[in-house]
Amino acid sequence: MPLTKMSPLLAKARNEKYAVGSFSVANMEMVLGVLKAVEETKSPAIIQIAEVRLKQSPLELIGPLMVAAAKNCSMPVAVHFDHGKTKEKIQQALDIGFTSVMFDGSHLPFEENAAVTSGIKKTASLYNADCEGEIGCVGGSEDGSEDIAVNCTSPEQAKEFYEKTCVDALAVAIGNAHGNYKQAPKLRFDILEKTAPLVKVPLVLHGGTGILPDDFRKCISLGINKINIATATFDSVQANVRKCYTEGAINGYYDLQAAEVEGAYLNAMKHIEIFGCAGKGIQ
């Protein structure tokens, strides 16, 4: 199965009422773990990296690895640049072969966010790649360095934003936040219910770590078709490595590598089941 774009994966998910997991990765072991779960469950998937994570995982190194892994997977996998902040890095991701990019202009005034996102969409189209935008402000930050308050999406502004930008997917803020929640979030399902009919493309939920399974399923029933999972992946890898050390199962580097792969795999398996996308990668 060749490397694929995000839009056909999400279009199928929208038609069949499930969500595609978009899993953040930071190294080869995480990529291998996620794609192992994808192969076993015959699921579509997206692997992604956010711009803020490039200090630890340089794009020129991790990017080609992600693209090559997706090309070698038997299931449809898209490669996504998440929370792009600069045109330079978004351009670099497209040059490497990423099949979708996101510009995160949620911190900008509405008109500026729409204008810049529209420009990114046009650039992505030149590469036959997709573009994701964001309206409203998801809480927290990708690397936990900022305490950003949630600014919930206005359904009417979401409609206007889509019409101005023609993005292929739209991230919305409904009380969700990046990182680990201190308590279970109270999601604004009412906003989601009003927004989905107004926007003609699949909606995206960021900050998926810690959301309850039933809340995920309700979000999917109301129009969410892409769910980003980052912190849960990193936490699962760390926890599994610690567990293996405690049990005496790591006796060298390759045991450590296997523990990292397994941690990413277990997390992906858990979310694939919740999102209802198992078996949906079969054409």
Specify whether 82 is catalytic: yes
Q: Which of 82, 104, 168, 215 is catalytic?
A: 82
CB 92 within 8 A of CB 18: no
Q: At what angle do helices 59-71 and 87-96 cross, to 10 degrees?
A: 40
Question: Residues in the chain with pLDDT < 70?
Answer: 1, 137-150, 176-185
Say how far apart CA 159 and CA 161 lie, in whole Å. 5
Q: What is the pLDDT of residue 144?
A: 45
Q: What is the pLDDT of residue 148?
A: 42
Q: Which fold has domain 6-275?
A: TIM Barrel (3.20.20)
Q: How distant, in Å, are the alpha carbons of 64, 71, 87, 176 from that of 205?
A: 26, 26, 23, 8
How much is the pTM? 0.92
Q: What is the pLDDT of residue 210?
A: 75
Taking phi over 0 as left and psi of -120 to 50 as alpha, with beta for the rest, 42 belongs to left
Q: What is the pLDDT of residue 149?
A: 43
Q: What is the pLDDT of residue 123?
A: 97
